[in-house]
Amino acid sequence: MFHKAMKSGCRAEEARLETAERLAKFLALIAVVSWRIFFITMSERAKPDAAPDSVLTFAEITALDRIDASRTRPRLQRPTLAAYLLQIAMLGGYLARNHDPPPGNMVVWRGMTRLHDIAFGSSRRYG
């Protein structure tokens, strides 16, 4: 699962870096990013009722709260890791139907990418 996040999410095989030094730096960076996606996904499965700040940053939680507050029907009823991860997965295209399996690394990857874009944009906008 971890290597799939590195390979598919970061597109490690598509990197056309010409020196070993650049490749080593790139692999170190995507290893950390892939580990974090994997950690967030597996933490939610192990402890869905945990506090979201156990794995998410303040900026990520704030951005998710702002997104949820702008909806006509807010989805974040309880501040649990499961609720926040579901919101992240839905940003990545997860449909959250009753028969769907739990969100995987790739949909969390896409959701985290969108969330960081939103958080960056709102931090630039609000101060």
Nearest partner of 89 among 71, 112, 68, judged by Cα: 112
What domain range is 77 assigned to? 2-126
Rg of the chain on CA atoms, in Å? 16
What's the pLDDT band for 18 if we cut at 50, 70, 90? confident
Residue with the two structure tokens 């139907």: 97
Q: Which helix (H) or strand (E) holds 95?
A: none
Using CA atoms, how far residue 63 sits from 33, 73, 89, in Å, is: 19, 17, 14
Is residue 122 a contact partner of residue 59, using CB atoms and an 8 Å limit? no
What pLDDT was estimated at residue 9?
Answer: 65
Q: Which two tokens stand for residue 119?
A: 């958080």
What is the average per-residue pLDDT within 59-66? 91
CATH of residue 56: 1.10.740.10
Q: How far apart are CA 11 and CA 110, in angstroms?
A: 13
What's the pLDDT band for 125 if we cut at 50, 70, 90? low
How many domains is the chain built from? 1
Which region among 2-11, 103-112, 113-122 has the lowest average model confidence (pLDDT)?
2-11
